[in-house]
A and B are shown apart, each in its own frame.
Chain A
Amino acid sequence: MDNGKKIIMENKDQEKNSLYLKLIPYFDRYGILLLLLIMIVVMHFLQPDVFLSWRNVTNIFKQISWQSMLALGVFMVIVTAGIDLSVGSIMMLSLMILAIVAKAGAPWFIVVLTPLVAGFLCGLINGMGITLLRMPHPFIMTLGTLYIFRGAGNLISGGTPISGFTDEVRYLGHGRIDLTWLGLEKSQYLPVSLVLIAIVYIIFWIFMNHTRTGKWIYAIGGNPNAARASGVNVNKILVIVYSLCGFLSGIGALILAGRADSGYPNAGLQSELDAIAACIIGGASFFGGRGTVLGVFAGVMIMGILRNGLNLMDVSSFWQQVLIGSIIVLAVYVDVLRRDLGTRK
């Protein structure tokens, strides 16, 4: 009798447990979006008139536009269990090169290409340094280039801002897509940078999840020896990853050129830390192999909304720093708890 009861209870426990376990993968995948949604709802109640207004929402997207590029680049690097501290400096150097080329009177299509090429080459230098010079950790190589690239940017520009670009150059960062043909008002436009974010993120989502190279990037983060033993050229993939990270920083520079209409020495200062924070909040693991493109986007959005919302409520930027720091610690702690539940030890 007692035994029978016990077994039934155990069965119930198991059922409960298995439902719980079945939910984990979904929570794993979409939990961060839930957090984003909660933040949006909370902000909406705190600032009902302003927060979800067309103007404010487009503002948020404009504010996160170049950061989202850096975060995506750093994300790929973090998936390989690496780190790129130089993205802010790559962006600044690319921006300065763009500014100089623009001021030299080059046609707009060349000006637009320069930051992309410059960013890619900077990333290539990082990748080559890490693999060919066999730096003990990417932290060291990219810490070095953090100084080198920013120094180079100041050297070529003399450390002064260079302002004034043509509309074509500014289009990606500043352009507006008119929506009056949909019956919307003139002020309800779509920022070009928002469309650009969407396109770039979709392309990189496909790249990371549906191509062999993307799979290998995850495999390298999971177990580099396994990747090597499977015939994956780990060094080649790492060079590709760091180059793409630099390329994305170059896109960031192009967007920033449009938004700021200026190349300035402090561009992207400390933005590498924001990029890393967005990845971590979005669920990427520092140990590599874990994280999603969607998660990074959510991470960037959470940081953007937090800053925007706190600004709307007139909270000092000092508190913003404290809050963002707390969210990083909290997000990683949630990840630690989840991993304790989800995997065998």
Chain B
Amino acid sequence: MPISNQLLLEAKEITKYFGTITALENVNLKIHSGECLGVVGDNGAGKTTLMKVLSGLYKPSNGSLFFEGKKEVLESPKDSQNLGLEMVYQDLALAGNLPIGENIFLGREPTRNLGLFKLLDFKKIKELTDAHLGKLKINVKSADQKVEELSGGQRQAVAIARSTAFNAKVVIMDEPTAALAIKEVGKVLDLINSLKKTGVGVIVISHRMDDIFAVCDRVMALFQGTNFAESELSNTSRDEVIGWIMGKK
């Protein structure tokens, strides 16, 4: 059960042009706390563009974003992070050459002061990482392990851990299970369910109906850059959602 049904994020009439191409046209989206929204659509329907607008990576050509009821203009991913909005990218956005802990805290590393200089606090990074991975029940050998040494599922877990390490309110996941072995998919879906229980709003972009029907409460379909259909999960069926993806109602 969701902790509350507070409206966290609302996107109103988002339009995005790339030159002469219209990637999104008047798209609306809402996400509440403790809720999981599935976003589906064919390749090129605008799912990833929409998520990049939400995370501040792209600026919308038109339309506005409201976070907890307040209008916000995002200049960079940093702004959306500061609001408590985190993104887990399809390409995972991890630096393979760095250890798990340093990936989780990348861009927000804890430091300690040494005279005039700020030095990285490796002890604190390790403590916080161990505690956070423990909380999410993610098993890795050590927080010092380099990410390139992990399996696909472990990497996805690290990416999700990264997104939730700073009290995120909304987490956006782009194809969270696409690159995973079947036995690892379940673990990631469990992780999404436990995030929901902590009151986080989760947006999942996925092609996999199994994922959508396993974790989502609501599903919305984009078609050629527009809102095509939307429904509570209990009021729809797989076949209907698959029809939406192909532009049939």
Interface set of A (CB-CB < 8 Å, partner B): 206, 210-212, 215-216, 218-219, 221-223, 225-232, 289-290, 342-344
User: Separation in Å of the B139 CB from the closest CB of chain A?
Assistant: 17
B33 CB within 8 Å of chain A: no
Contacts of A210 in B (CB 8 A): 119-120
**Additional A-B contacts beyond A210-B119, A229-B77, A342-B149 (8; CB < 8 A):** A211-B118, A212-B120, A215-B98, A215-B106, A215-B109, A219-B106, A222-B98, A226-B93
Contact A229 to B93, CB < 8 A, known contacts A216-B107, A344-B148: yes
A288 to B: closest C-beta gap in Å: 8
Q: Report the Cα distance A164→B240, complex, angstroms.
A: 86
Query: Which A residues are in CB contact (< 8 Å) with B111?
Result: 212
Q: How far is the CB of A211 from chain B (nearest CB, A)?
A: 6
Q: Which among A215, A228, A344 is the interface contact of B77 at CB below 8 angstroms?
A: A228
- Given the known interface contacts A210-B120, A215-B120, A226-B106, the answer about A343 and B89 at a Cβ–Cβ threshold of 8 Å is no
- Summed over the interface, the residue pairs from A and B with CB atoms below 8 Å come to a total of 80
- Chain B 40-79 per-residue mask, 1 if CB under 8 angstroms from chain A, else 0: 0000000000000001010000000000000000001110
Provide the bound-state CA to CA distance between A289 and B97, in Å. Answer: 6
Interface residue SS majority, chain B: loop
User: What is the 8 Å Cβ interface bit string for chain B, positions 143-184, against chain A (1 contact, 0 not)?
Assistant: 000101111000000000000000000000000000000000
Residue among B89, B96, B106, B111 with the highest chain A CB neighbour number at 10 A: B106
Q: Closest CB of chain A to B98's CB: distance in Å?
A: 6
Q: Name the distance in Å between B123's Cβ and chain A's nearest Cβ.
A: 12
B246 within 8 A of A: no
23 A–B contacts from the bound complex (CB under 8 Å): A212-B111, A215-B102, A216-B107, A219-B102, A219-B106, A222-B96, A222-B98, A223-B93, A223-B95, A223-B96, A225-B89, A225-B91, A226-B94, A226-B103, A229-B93, A230-B77, A230-B93, A230-B108, A232-B107, A289-B95, A289-B96, A289-B97, A289-B98
Residues on B with beta carbons closer than 8 Å to the beta carbon of A215: 98, 102, 106, 109, 120
B96 / chain A contacts, CB cutoff of 8 Å: 222-223, 289
**Structural contact, B107 and A230, CB atoms closer than 8 A:** yes
CA distance A228 to B109 in the complex (A): 15
Name the residue of chain A whose CB is nearest to the CB of B104.
A230
B81 on the A face (CB < 8 A): yes
Contacts of A227 in B (CB 8 A): 95, 106-107
Interface of A is mostly: helix
The answer to whether B18 has its CB under 8 Å from any CB of chain A is no
Docked Cα-Cα span, A223 to B96, in Å, equals 7
Establish whether residues A226 and B95, one from each chain, have CB atoms under 8 Å apart when the complex forms. yes
* A279 to B118 alpha-carbon distance, docked (Å): 27
Pair A218/B98 contact, Cβ less than 8 Å: yes
Q: For the complex formed, measure the closest distance between the CB of A291 and the CB atoms of chain B, giving whole angstroms.
A: 10
Contact A231 B108, CB 8 Å, known A222-B96, A223-B94, A344-B151: yes
Contact status A212-B118, CB under 8 Å: yes
Pick from B77, B102, B120: contact of A231, CB below 8 A.
Answer: B77
Taken together as a complex, chains A and B put the C-alpha atoms of A218 and B96 apart, in Å, by: 10
